[in-house]
Amino acid sequence: MLKIAVLVSGGGTNLQALIDAERGGKIKNGTIVKVIASKDGAYALTRAANAGIETAVVARKSFENPDDYDRALLAEIEKCGADLVVLAGFLSILGETVISKYENKIINIHPSLIPSFCGKGCYGLKVHEMALEKGVKVTGATVHFVNLIPDGGAIILQKAVEIKNGDTPEVLQRRVMEEAEWEILPKAVSLFCECKIKVTGNTTVVED
Ligand code: GAR
């Protein structure tokens, strides 16, 4: 069984999808051993505690220097012996200290079809506001490996979601979560744990 550390910042619906998938036997060969939050009081911590999963908080705002934050985060990740790090609504940017130690072992869920509406400053509701402003008719979600370029690592899975007339950012965010994020994140985690993702440069081949 691979050990999974999940990093969160907010409500934790993607964490919940992972917990439910594990309970339902849908994460083959992996188990969530720890949830680490970048904010005290994140509701995701309550979800983890309710599921009996160990939690820790490494609060971004307690560190002036991003490198110190990164080192503290790495120490917390290493303590649980994680084989895979999952960013599930983790809204701080990871630095080189963590990324270089876990090359091709950190995956992130982003609420758009990368390379649209992604990169520095594109997160959460803002991504859906941008999609609606641009007037695209299809959006979606992407699971990808994390490298030093924000949202720039190799893509693992994507799923498209229709945009409907009258959508607000909130309505669209919910649809993208329900129809795409909560499905492809657990699926990608399981594929990783089953060694079914091969990375070549900045692309992947995924066995189905
Ligand atoms: C999700 O929509 C996730 O894709 C997004 O934040 C939300 C967190 O919700 N992440 C990003 O925008 C990362 N760039 P959750 O806490 O309920 O899972």
**Angle at CA of residue 161, ends 156 and 165, nearest 5°:** 155
Helix axes 125-134, 169-176, angle to 10 degrees: 110
pLDDT at 208 over 90: no
CA-nearest residue, atom 3 of ligand 1: 89
HSE on the CB side for 44, CA within 13 Å? 30
CA-nearest residue, atom 16 of ligand 1: 12
Q: How many CB atoms lie within 10 A of CB 49?
A: 12
Average the pLDDT over 201-206 and give the result.
96
Q: Tell me the catalytic residues.
A: 110
Residues having CB closer than 6 A to ligand 1 are: 10-14, 44, 88-89, 109-111, 123-124, 127, 177, 181
pLDDT digits 0-9 by tens, 173-197? 999 999 999 999 999 999 999 999 9
Residue ranges in 24-150 assigned as alpha helix (H) = 43-50, 66-79, 96-101, 125-134
What is the position in ligand 1's atom list of the atom closest to the CA of 91?
13
Q: For residue 33, how far is its CA from the centre of ligand 1 (angstroms)?
A: 20
Q: For residue 109, how far is its CA from the centre of ligand 1 (angstroms)?
A: 7
Of the candidates 62, 13, 64, the one whose C-alpha atom is nearest the C-alpha of residue 38 is 62
CA dihedral (11, 122, 185, 170) positive or negative: positive
Please tell me the pTM assigned to this model: 0.98
Q: For residue 10, how far is its CA from the centre of ligand 1 (angstroms)?
A: 8
Of the candidates 68, 47, 122, 112, the one whose C-alpha atom is nearest the C-alpha of residue 91 is 122
pLDDT for 55 equals 98
> Which tokens hold the place of 136?
């695209």
pLDDT digits 0-9 by tens, 80-129? 999 999 999 999 989 999 999 999 999 999 999 999 999 999 999 999 99
HSE on the CB side for 132, CA within 13 Å? 16
pLDDT digits 0-9 by tens, 17-29? 999 999 999 999 9
pLDDT for 27 equals 98
Residue ranges in the chain assigned as alpha helix (H) = 13-23, 43-50, 66-79, 96-101, 125-134, 169-176, 182-193
